[in-house]
Structure 1
Amino acid sequence: MLSISDVTVTIAVLKPTPILGGFGKPLILGSSTAGKDFKNYADIAAVQVDYAANTEEYKAAFALFAQKNPPAEVAIVSRKTGTTPITLADMLPTLFLKAWHFLVTTTTTVDDLILIADAVEADKSRQFFARTSSKADAATIKVKNYDRTEVFYHTTVANYPESAWVGAVGSLPVGSVTWKGWTLVGITPLDIDATELAAIHALGANTYVTKAGTNVTSDGRAVSGEFIDFIHSQDYIVYSVQYAVQDLFNQAQAALSKIPYDNRGIAQIESAVRTVLQRAYLNGMIAADNDGVPLYNTTFPPRSEVDPANIAARTYPDGQFDFVIAGAVHTAAIRGTIKFA
């Protein structure tokens, strides 16, 4: 989330060499002749006050709220297309100033989807769920190799399968679930074989199929092949560490105090970071070792090891943390043996 803060958090994603504030809140981006401002809605009845049941914004919201684990709140904005229209390129930067995490849109035009996806990728704090009934459009999007855009392929997109997916999973505790294998209310599975499913996945898309008699989302990946929950978890930890340390500074000021630039103050900052990492571990984002110990570390050098120029400038740039992502099991291979004695 974009915010004014004295804290900067960056994560370098170190992957093994081959032997990938509103964190559950969706935003629906629509369009209409007159347009409508950004507004939050707690249920589908509230949406219908502003958007009739035949509007695309309503249909997207209906799919979100119809799921078993619906979001507590949905935001909707309608871009003006009539007299003095607002272009998509002009509107997108203003949306990143609002509180939301998952973006869905009423448009399926591939040029619009790429424009939105480019903006989301550049912002590096949100995730975009697009839908398409065109394998050619999915292939066009695949070329961009987005980490933050998820494509839902289905022959029927009028009922917003990608919105249903966000509604089913997005509001659950970050890191506690993977996005593969979810049953969606109001969505019919595709009747396809394993070969066609593999072809859809090769396009960087997800879809909805029947496995072992249950209708489920086929995978849980972004266009690049990165897992959706990995990106969601990364965003959560960056924002949560930033928020926790900023809140530490704010609370000190409220108490007419300060964070002293000595080992006591540094320990307070480190403690705030470790609290976030422990919460992330309990949510399932961070793995544990064989003894059940969470696999995260923090390194916050004492004052004696800090550059005096940084002490004079009242900046502490040396804090670090790392963790091992827990991931999730998506497939399994099991061997069996038949014995006669």
Structure 2
Amino acid sequence: MAKNLSDVTVKLNVEQPSVPVNMGNLAIFVKGESAKVETFSSYDDVISVHSDNDAINQVASGYFAQGDHGDKLFIITYDKLDSAAETFYGEGWEFATVVGADGSNPDEEIAALSNYINGKDERFAVTAYPATDTTVTKAEEIRSNLGNSRRTIVFANGDTQSQAFYGVGALIGAVANEVVGSVTWKFRKMGGVKPVGLNVTQIEKLHAANILTYVTKAGANQTSEGKTIGGEFIDALHGDDWVKASIETELQKLLSSSKKLTFDATGIAQIDAVVTNVLSQATRNGIIIENTETGMGKFTVTTASREDSATADISSRHYTGLSFSYTRAGAIHSVTVSGQINL
């Protein structure tokens, strides 16, 4: 795991029975001689440095063309992908794609990035293929090659790979930087992306492999689904990332700003309050479902007292007694209506 200068560790355990910054920023990985990271805030800045790589240009163009894009675009040059991803993990990107040095779509490197991020179980890998018969035919192969990853998004769009790369940037630029929890990734509109020319059967084959595409419904252009290749809803996982990052950030602020956070009821209550505030904000954002009876979010925060804490934890000044759980809000993606006609 990448080294982070933090005194807070948040572990999310997801049970499925039935604002920090940078939650919408994109990183482009590209093969090179030595590892480095570059940060850009506009498309013109990207072109001034990387005009020779069409894939980078297309992803950047799509990203910055959207009105709500993140404030940064990272271009990470790698010799070994896993090593570079680990080295630059702390730069502040939430989404990452990979392109070939020659502007191609490198399947092996995409799989490597997908595996790396899936192993972290946070953030997202994203890639795209043109919305053609070939992509439809190999849809299940694509999913298999990416290990059915719960953290990888595949977007079929455009007639060519160059257009598909534009779509990658456009998708992240249009949706990822919205208030996390306030939007689903289905039904989203983006600038510069044309609806695909596939028929319903072909689109259903893409959906069966959890590949989303771009269609027209009721006269409006929109994304056709909002799932990762592993079948998870993107907004749900993005919400989990927001909760984790927010708690880490706010608890670190508490530790850093306190003259002394005492290992007693007072200090523990302050930790409890920070986590409760984050989960309350997550409820307002739409990440956590609201209890209609109480008007509060469906979450719980539990703390252990000093007396119930291990002696070793007290002596090492390491508090491990807080835990929390919450119920995701979810979203409605389809509707069935029953009607009756009286004669």
Task: Say whether the fold is shared (TM-score over 0.5).
Answer: yes
In structure 1, which of residues 175, 200, 213 is the aligned counterpart of residue 181 of structure 2?
175
SS of residue matched to 1:294? coil
Mapping of residues 114-193 of structure 1, within 5 Å: 114-133=111-130, 134-135=135-136, 138-143=139-144, 144-154=147-157, 155-159=159-163, 160=165, 161-193=167-199
1:130 positional shift:
0.7
Distance between the aligned counterparts of 1:137 and 1:98, measured in 2? 34
Q: Which amino acid aligns with 1:145?
A: N
Distance between the aligned counterparts of 2:264 and 2:36, measured in 1? 48
Contact 2:58 / 2:169 at 8 angstroms: preserved in 1? no
- Asked if 1:111 corresponds to 2:113, the answer is no
Q: Identity of paired residues, percent?
A: 29
Q: What TM-score does the superposition give when structure 1 sets the normalisation length?
A: 0.89
Mapping of residues 247-286 of structure 1, within 5 Å: 247-252=253-258, 257-286=259-288
Q: Which amino acid aligns with 2:254?
A: L
Aligned counterpart, 1:333 = 336
Distance between the aligned counterparts of 1:106 and 1:138, measured in 2? 19
Distance between the aligned counterparts of 1:194 and 1:22, measured in 2? 36
Aligned counterpart, 2:81 = 88
Distance between the aligned counterparts of 1:35 and 1:50, measured in 2? 16
Q: What is the number of residues matched between the two proteins?
A: 326
How large is the Cα RMSD of the aligned pairs?
Answer: 2.0
1:106 positional shift:
2.1
Map Cα deviations across residues 122-163 of structure 1 (whole Å, 9 max, x no partner). 122320111123345542342212011011123433122122
In structure 1, which of residues 314, 320, 333 is the aligned counterpart of residue 323 of structure 2?
320
1:72 positional shift:
1.9
Contact 1:297 / 1:322 at 8 angstroms: preserved in 2? yes
SS of residue matched to 1:241? helix
Map Cα deviations across residues 205-232 of structure 1 (whole Å, 9 max, x no partner). 1111111111111101001100111111
Structure 2 unaligned blocks of 5 or more: none
1:193 positional shift:
2.7
Distance between the aligned counterparts of 1:2 and 1:26, measured in 2? 20
Aligned counterpart, 2:223 = 217
Q: Which amino acid aligns with 1:129?
A: V
Aligned counterpart, 2:95 = 102
Q: Which amino acid aligns with 2:57?
A: Y
1:244 positional shift:
1.2
Aligned counterpart, 1:83 = none
Aligned counterpart, 2:8 = 7
Q: Which amino acid aligns with 1:101?
A: E
Distance between the aligned counterparts of 2:253 and 2:236, measured in 1? 25
1:276 positional shift:
0.9
Structure 1 unaligned blocks of 5 or more: 80-85
Residues 170/2 of structure 1: CA separation in 2 closer, same or farther (3 Å cut): farther
Aligned counterpart, 1:46 = 45
SS of residue matched to 1:150? strand
SS of residue matched to 2:91? coil
SS of residue matched to 1:207? strand
Q: Which amino acid aligns with 2:48?
A: V
Contact 1:114 / 1:141 at 8 angstroms: preserved in 2? no
Distance between the aligned counterparts of 1:277 and 1:315, measured in 2? 23
1:65 positional shift:
0.8
Moved more, 50-59 or 122-131: 50-59
Contact 1:132 / 1:138 at 8 angstroms: preserved in 2? no
Distance between the aligned counterparts of 1:139 and 1:327, measured in 2? 26
Distance between the aligned counterparts of 1:37 and 1:55, measured in 2? 20
Aligned counterpart, 1:82 = none
In structure 1, which of residues 173, 185, 195 is the aligned counterpart of residue 201 of structure 2?
195
